[in-house]
A = this chain, B = another copy of it.
Amino acid sequence: MKQICICLEFLTDAHRAQIEKTAAETGFVPHFFTPDQFEEARTCLQDCEILYAHSPELLQSAPAALKWYCCSYAGVEPYCQNPALFANPECLLTNSNGYGVTISEHVVMVLLMLFRRMPEYEEIVRARRWDNQLSIRSIRDSDFTILGTGNIGVNVAERLRGMGASRITGLSRSGRAREGFDQVLPISQLDEVLPRSRNLIMALPGTAESRHILNRERIALLPQEAFVVNVGRGSAIDQEALVEALNSGRLGGAALDVMEPEPLPPDHPLWTAKNLILTPHISGNMTLGYTCDVNVDMFCTDLRNYAAGRPLAQLVDRRRGY
């Protein structure tokens, strides 16, 4: 029987039973570890064909016989940027991009907090004042630009549409039409779209191309008092330019769940930037059962694909980076 090494912190008994059943039906035996059992997992891994985890260290200690690494995270930049992690250069890499539901709820929350001036109202309430006439915006009849039309972008678009958004423009490498978007344009047209992007949502993978894609020049192209939300990777924004645009009032506000570096150092200017909703990379938090269920479902589906010799649904193009 062929072996699978699984090293994850979030599996329930039901998840383990589901994986055991799928493995039995496809001729595999799974071995379960949690990240604090690193040494045991590493020993077991030497006889395994498949690894399901989120650990560059564990992957690096895998033998050349490893044929498939399923990463339980959506972001796989450490693996794409460092091919030396794979003893077997032909090893398949898949990611788990099932975070769209939880991350899109985070996006709706922070957009509404920006639209409805919650950072300012929270200060008012802390001071026990009763000012209530700050001018607000609504999702209804507003336009949105979503940079990235993957699982996150599609789920965000669906929710904004359901709340009456007027026009939702997506930008992706291909510019291929996606459900829920009024229009998807190739990312090469970003500079033309930014001047009419009052509400910019960024959900891009961390790649060489996305690095500082929102640079100083492009921040200057955004309309006065625009809002920026980033739930992709912190590397996509020139943070120094963003902090300046926030503190000067040039932008209306921003919400960052990702930044560079993480954790943010204690003296970083982002902590005190004006009208910024900062969260410590929580939007895709694995404490939500639904998120974990989807993760395990994706692995089991691809285990069936793998055993049957079919292409893996979650296969990552390692040169492209996602």
A residues contacting B by CB (< 8 A) are 101-102, 105-106, 108-109, 112-113, 115-116, 118, 121-122, 124-125, 128-141, 158-159, 161-164, 262-264, 266, 271, 278-282, 285, 287-288, 290
Contact = CB atoms under 8 A, between A and B. Distances in A.
Contacts of A101: 138, 140, 164
A98 B280 CA distance: 37
A135 B290 CA distance: 12
Nearest to A287: B135
A313 B121 CA distance: 35
27 contacts: A101-B138, A102-B138, A105-B112, A105-B140, A106-B112, A108-B163, A109-B109, A109-B113, A112-B112, A113-B113, A116-B282, A121-B282, A124-B280, A125-B271, A125-B279, A128-B264, A129-B280, A130-B262, A130-B263, A131-B280, A132-B282, A134-B282, A134-B287, A138-B288, A138-B290, A141-B290, A158-B162
Given A109-B116, A130-B263, A132-B282, 19 more contacts: A105-B140, A106-B112, A106-B116, A116-B282, A121-B279, A121-B282, A125-B278, A125-B280, A128-B264, A130-B280, A132-B285, A134-B285, A134-B287, A136-B285, A136-B287, A136-B288, A137-B288, A141-B290, A159-B163
A199 to B, nearest CB: 14
Contacts of A264: 128, 130
Nearest to A264: B130
A121 B116 CA distance: 19
B125 A118 contact: no
A252 to B, nearest CB: 14
Contacts of A121: 279-280, 282
A61 to B, nearest CB: 26
A102 B115 CA distance: 11
Contacts of A262: 130
A278 B135 CA distance: 18
Nearest to A111: B109
A266 B113 contact: no
B132 A280 contact: yes
B124 A122 contact: no
A101 B136 CA distance: 13
A225 to B, nearest CB: 14
A170 B109 CA distance: 24
The 6 closest A-B pairs by CB, nearest first: A162-B162, A130-B263, A109-B112, A135-B287, A132-B280, A130-B280
A75 B135 CA distance: 21
A124 B285 CA distance: 16
A304 B131 CA distance: 36
Contacts of A137: 288
A279 B131 CA distance: 10
B108 A266 contact: no
